[in-house]
Chain A
Amino acid sequence: MRKELNAAAVRKFAANNIVPIIFIVLCAVCIPIAGYSGTYLVDQIITRIVRNSFLVLSLLIPIMAGMGLNFGMTLGAMAGQIGIIFITAWNVVSIPGLLLAAIIATPIAVLLGWFCGKMLNMARGREMITSYMISFFMNGVYQLVVLYGMGPVIPLSSDQVILPRGYGVRNTIDLLNVRKSIDNFWSIKLFADENGAGGITIPFLTIILIALLCIVIIWFRKTKIGQDMRAVGQDMEVAREAGIKVERTRILAIVISTVFAAYGMIIYLSNMGTLNTYNSHSQIGMFSIAALLVGGASVSKASIKNVFLGIILFHLMFILTPQAGKNLIGQAQIGEFFRVFVSYGVITLALVLYEIRTRREKAESARNLALSQEATA
């Protein structure tokens, strides 16, 4: 009896955590094939955590408010990029530069988030596909502004930023001014060789920033607004009856998420050191969502734990697969395609599993009635 119970519990655990389990197995298989050293992997993973966690954390609040995965986080990323473009053009360097970028990005992110939230209130029940389409639509607007507006309409004249034709921002911008400025502000290096190469770098300031955001999110859950969001997320009608302003709360959730995403993007770009003007934001949206799902989050439930587990597993896979592909078949490209496939595949899988699980729970009530009938008969 006890054994059966355990077996059932294990099966249930596996069913509920199928995505992270697949990834753990995948990574375990790839590590020996890729043949990277332990220190290299640890250093890489720390870099990725530092780079991405702020972005992934920004997804938590809309999930709490029952709005699903916020594909509209791309909007925040765009706001962050606009901030970065300005400070690069104005040549404001290092941490003051990044702060200025954040100040510029904030109102833009608030505005975009407000727009996105308004739209999502009009598309209840299909928030995800709508936020996804908003990110596409806004991508067009962003390109219009950045590719045509910057120069003639919005005065910017830096050669570093503007294309030689006189308007529009370059495809890639080198962010030498702010490159790793947060990371290098206070960091230590472990296990490095005598030349200072290799080893594991630990950037304390960035880690403190991320820890701060985690604390803010934990604190946020305990506030009145956090409680309201959880209520709205469970049942809008009940929340409305209790007098909670449902629409406002939902818009606020998206605005907060968008602003955090903007800050996350600034941290990300400073760490990367280059801005891919027309690609970075869309890519980051997909990778962040995939990472969160890999960590075992679902459309309706996600925690800080999911964020970090997700980033570690997802990016480990990211680092490993090209090398593993190369060592296995002699083509690094297969690994590249493979990780794109995995990113999309994991989102598909998580969405499908979520739907099927919700359905199963609904079907259970019928089964219970049937059982109780049989019991009385």
Chain B
Amino acid sequence: MMDRIKELAKSFGLPRLIIAGFLMALFIISPFAGLSITAAITDVAGRFGQNALMVLAMVPMIHSGCGLNFGLPLGIIAGLLGATLAIETGIGGPVSFLLAMLYSTPFAIIFGWGYGKLLNRVKGSEMMIATYVGFSSVAFMSIMWLILPYSSPTMVWGYTGQGLRTTISTEGFYYHILRDTLAIRIGSLQISIAEILFFALFAFIIWAFLHTKTGTAMTAVGSNAVFARASGINIDKQRTLSVIMSTWLGAIGILCYQQGYGFVQLYQGPMYMAMPAVSAILIGGASVNKASITNVIIGTILYQGIVSMTPSVMNSLIHTDMSEVLRIIVSNGMILYALTRKSGASR
């Protein structure tokens, strides 16, 4: 019996167990701390819908052996371009969301293609270079946001009439476009079905893709690239495809995030957005070269649960908000754990 429990703990992973236990404890404590459970669940559900797609964006690249997608900001930038172009048209309502998705797609494909080509030339050090590709592109776009000829008054700085604002409200465009559709409301509990369905749609697409011939080839490339090459697979092509997919999912992911959060964050906003997503999928049980949709779902719930619960519980208990610091320690500690594990792949 003990052995079975030990084995279960081993397969689930000790850090994951600790985090799940911690989250559980938070939920148990919260009523005593005078917090409402339903509000907490509403918050976690909302954050899940907002963030899950960006976590899903990790999956294709992990599958093809490109490692953790620290270059997520590149996808986010494609999404930001889509968002700003959609707002620029001035068309409001649900159409603006579709437009944003539509506009960001070609950017995501082009960026992903170039990024994939680059990663193919630096096999073995993808993660480090991905991180800096992300940073550089964010810094480059910061310049671009200043000089690109946008003119919509909702986006441009009022006093100079030039350059975009650091944050742009999605109010009047696609604010809560998914959040408030098909929402279940029971008392203070609110769960948005549309948001979850939206994620489920993409999760299904990825799941289905991984069951096709090409998806199988992609997984094989990540599992053993030499095997795949000996089986006649063009490794570079598979990897590039996976990077394009990840980048595109990142773009759609940020749009989904914006509709829930209410703002488009430009300039340095996307800089560190990869870390929470990377850390979430690792908490969900993925490793540097293996990941599944289940990892995405579990990881996002656990990560967002901790992030949203800790501040409120801590605040009411010790009147100190250490949540941001704890978030940094937990999420980066998780990444560090994955990198230093012996069983991890060599990239």
Is A136 in contact with chain B by the CB < 8 A criterion? Answer: yes
- Report whether B121 and A133 are in contact in the complex, using a CB–CB cutoff of 8 Å: no
- Size class of the B contact interface (CB-based, 8 Å): 35 or more
Contact A137/B143 with A130-B339, A348-B133, A352-B129 known, Cβ cut-off 8 Å: no
- Report whether A129 and B127 are in contact in the complex, using a CB–CB cutoff of 8 Å: yes
What is the distance, in angstroms, from A365's C-beta to the closest C-beta of chain B?
Answer: 18
Chain B: which residue is nearest A341 at the CB level?
B139
Is B328 in contact with chain A by the CB < 8 A criterion? Answer: yes
Selected interface stretch from A6-14, A31-39, A143-151, A174-182: A143-151
Is B172 in contact with chain A by the CB < 8 A criterion? Answer: no
Residues 333 to 351 of chain A near chain B (Cβ within 8 Å): 333-334, 337-338, 340-341, 343-345, 347-348, 351
Name A's interface SS: helix
What is the distance, in angstroms, from B239's C-beta to the closest C-beta of chain A?
Answer: 15
Q: Inside 8 A of A333's CB, which chain B residues have their CB?
A: 146
Of A122, A129, A144, A344, which contacts B325 at CB under 8 A? A144
- Report whether A359 and B121 are in contact in the complex, using a CB–CB cutoff of 8 Å: yes
- Report whether A143 and B135 are in contact in the complex, using a CB–CB cutoff of 8 Å: no
Selected interface stretch from B102-110, B202-210, B220-228, B329-337: B329-337
Residues 314 to 347 of chain B near chain A (Cβ within 8 Å): 320, 322, 324-329, 332-333, 335-336, 339-342, 346-347
Is B275 in contact with chain A by the CB < 8 A criterion? Answer: yes
Contact A123/B125 with A143-B325, A148-B325, A340-B142 known, Cβ cut-off 8 Å: no
- Report whether B128 and A334 are in contact in the complex, using a CB–CB cutoff of 8 Å: no
Q: Inside 8 A of B121's CB, which chain A residues have their CB?
A: 352, 355-356, 359
Q: Give the docked Cα–Cα distance between A345 and B140 (Å).
A: 9
Q: Give the docked Cα–Cα distance between A329 and B163 (Å).
A: 12
What is the distance, in angstroms, from B80's C-beta to the closest C-beta of chain A?
Answer: 15
- Report whether B339 and A123 are in contact in the complex, using a CB–CB cutoff of 8 Å: yes
Q: Inside 8 A of A341's CB, which chain B residues have their CB?
A: 136, 139-140, 142-143
What is the distance, in angstroms, from A145's C-beta to the closest C-beta of chain B?
Answer: 10
Is B132 in contact with chain A by the CB < 8 A criterion? Answer: yes
- Report whether A334 and B146 are in contact in the complex, using a CB–CB cutoff of 8 Å: yes
Q: Give the docked Cα–Cα distance between A130 and B68 (Å).
A: 13
Q: Inside 8 A of B342's CB, which chain A residues have their CB?
A: 122
- Size class of the A contact interface (CB-based, 8 Å): 35 or more
Contact A137/B340 with A129-B128, A129-B131 known, Cβ cut-off 8 Å: no
Q: Give the docked Cα–Cα distance between A130 and B344 (Å).
A: 13
- Report whether B336 and A119 are in contact in the complex, using a CB–CB cutoff of 8 Å: yes
Q: Give the docked Cα–Cα distance between A333 and B157 (Å).
A: 14
Is B122 in contact with chain A by the CB < 8 A criterion? Answer: yes
Is B183 in contact with chain A by the CB < 8 A criterion? Answer: no
Contact A348/B129 with A126-B339, A356-B121 known, Cβ cut-off 8 Å: yes
Give a binary string over A119-143; 1 marks a CB under 8 Å from any B CB, 0 the rest. 1001101101110111011011101
What is the distance, in angstroms, from B18's C-beta to the closest C-beta of chain A?
Answer: 16
Chain B: which residue is nearest A136 at the CB level?
B332
- Report whether B129 and A148 are in contact in the complex, using a CB–CB cutoff of 8 Å: no
What is the distance, in angstroms, from B190's C-beta to the closest C-beta of chain A?
Answer: 32
Of B118, B132, B147, which contacts A344 at CB under 8 A? B132
- Report whether B142 and A337 are in contact in the complex, using a CB–CB cutoff of 8 Å: yes
- Report whether A356 and B339 are in contact in the complex, using a CB–CB cutoff of 8 Å: no
What is the distance, in angstroms, from A125's C-beta to the closest C-beta of chain B?
Answer: 6
- Report whether A123 and B340 are in contact in the complex, using a CB–CB cutoff of 8 Å: yes
Of B125, B267, B329, B335, which contacts A144 at CB under 8 A? B329
Q: Inside 8 A of B325's CB, which chain A residues have their CB?
A: 140, 143-144, 147-148
The contact sample of 7 A-B pairs, CB cut-off 8 A, is: A126-B347, A129-B125, A129-B127, A140-B332, A329-B147, A341-B136, A341-B140
Residues of B within 8 A of A (CB): 70, 118, 121-122, 124-125, 127-129, 131-133, 135-136, 138-140, 142-143, 146-147, 163, 267, 275, 320, 322, 324-329, 332-333, 335-336, 339-342, 346-347
